[in-house]
Amino acid sequence: MTLRNFSSKAPYLLADFLLSATCWLLAWLLRREWLSNDPNTLPNLYIWLRALMAGVAWVLLYNAFGLYRDTYRYSRIRELGLVLEASILGVFIIAFLSFINDPEGNYRYIQRVIFIYLGIQFIVIGLNRLLISSWFKWRLQQGRLRQKSILIGNGPAARQYLNTLPRFQYGASYEVVGHIALENREAVHLPLTVPCLGQLSHMYEIIRQYKIRYVLLALEPEEYPQYFHLLKALQDAPVRLVAAPQMYDFLLGKAHMLTEMVYAPIEIDTTFQRPFTAFLKRSIDIGVSLTALILLLPVFTILAILVGSTSRGPVFFRQERIGKNGKPFRIIKFRSMYIDAEKHGPALSQHNDPRITPVGRFLRKTRLDELPQFWNVLMGDMSLVGPRPERQYWIDQIVPHAPEYLQLLCIKPGITSLGQVRFGYASNVEEMLQRLRYDLLYLEHMSLSWDFRILFYTVQIVFQGRGK
């Protein structure tokens, strides 16, 4: 969290901390009143410290649910929904830790304390956040809370966007300090107050120099494919994307949008997962991959002997692939091809491919060749479920036909994917483009429930030997 963003988050953080500590203390007083043999006992230093610890724990939990990410721009209903979800989880975690060894054993009263605590926590925090958010929203509408922004585009759409921006609900809150011109495009006359600050190739430096927080997209229809290149270029920049209303049809189904107002600027969330969901996904990845590497050690040993004794070459196959944010990593698999398989250059596997060894054919049918990728998952380069990681060579072949492929680089690649279980391996670029539709569908509906379904289908494929 940068210092310039902290001022807008500080009221939420401080209020959540103090009020959550107070709610915990109220719950303790109720428990003492109903269950203690001496209801007149006053809180001691240990109790006060536990209340403060509870306050810190609640702030961390709310942060995991994404409740400190520009919440005053979210709808109040969405914010209350997140508070309720976090309150239910947090109260039952605290209740479990507090009452698992409760000496009183009066569970009827314990249940009452838990549900009253839940009600107090949700109502107090929910109402307080509504007040703070309403105050921030009022300041945004009045233009009293200004956010430094930059406009990408210099065509008619950019000019229209600037002219109509003040009419929107929070349009006055965007302080447009300049624009970035698209290369190979004839410039149009924009207001002198919105000077050209440079080209796309210098965008990251411009954002850092002017301390930009919001990037306003106003592309012409023929420039829409550049949107995905912009996403990739902005992945490491601490900015939010806000697209012009004219781009709504293009963005529909290709990005998570934070607003439901079709004729308002479209604020785009490119993270695809709430922090808490991402934390759970990573925890599952670590737990499953570590367990698999330990329990499947005998299988690894047998397969290593089979691969090494039936064909010349190393047991494991390592190759550079492109991961999250375009970062390269080396994937590891059991070798399933002869060592000179690509002596004529990169090539995708084909039906009855002569480059595949007899043992490799079995490994690919059962997908056992991908077991070593649990190590990539454990190291954080991959996830259990995610788009198939590709080589840069094939990405360069795909992007000219489907620039939206670059969206897949916003998340970690996976051992298995919706494209793998629904389409399978691709033998050429055209088939890779067909499989891409399934991976984009997963990206749009990304969730833990989808992950579990994809893992279930993957296990089915392994036992049925329907790999390639």
Q: For residue 140, which phi and psi values (nearest 5 degrees)?
A: -65, -45
> How much is the pLDDT for 255?
54
- Provide the residue type at 180 as one letter: I
Name the burial class of residue 441, with classes exposed (0-12), middle (13-18) and buried (19+) by CB atoms within 10 angstroms of its CB.
middle
First to last CA, the chain: 46
What is the fold of 147-269? Answer: Rossmann fold (3.40.50)
What pLDDT digit, counting tens, does each position of 142-199 carry? 767 788 899 988 888 888 888 888 777 777 788 888 888 776 555 566 777 788 888 7
Residue 120 structure tokens: 């107090």
Which structure tokens are listed for 11?
């009221």
CA distances from 387 to 15, 230, 288, 408 (A): 40, 20, 18, 7
Quote the tokens at residue 328.
């390269």
pTM: 0.73
The DSSP output letter for 247 is: G
Residue 36: pLDDT band by 50, 70, 90 thresholds? low
Q: Tell me which of 225 and 336 has the higher pLDDT.
A: 336
The residue-averaged pLDDT of 303-312 equals 91
Residues of CATH 3.40.50.720 domain(s) within the chain? 147-269
29 Cβ contact list (under 8 Å, min separation 6): 43
Q: Give the length of the chain.
A: 468
The pLDDT > 90 percentage for the chain reads: 28
What distances in angstroms separate CA 388 from CA 97, 125, 191, 332, 342, one per listed residue? 40, 42, 45, 13, 20
User: Reduced to 3 states, what is the DSSP secondary structure of residue 240?
Assistant: strand
Buried b (16+ CB within 10 A) or exposed e, 206-219: bbeeeebbbbbbbb
Match 């607003």 to its residue by tokens: 259
Q: Give the model's confidence band at 295: pLDDT under 50 very low, under 70 low, under 90 confident, else very high.
A: very high
Q: pLDDT by residue (tens digit) across 408-453?
A: 888 899 999 999 888 888 888 898 999 998 998 898 888 888 899 9
Q: Are 320 and 346 in contact (CB under 8 A)?
A: no
* Per-residue pLDDT tens digits for 106-150: 566 677 788 888 999 999 999 998 888 888 878 777 767 788 899
Residue 239: how many CA atoms within 13 Å on its side-chain side?
A: 31
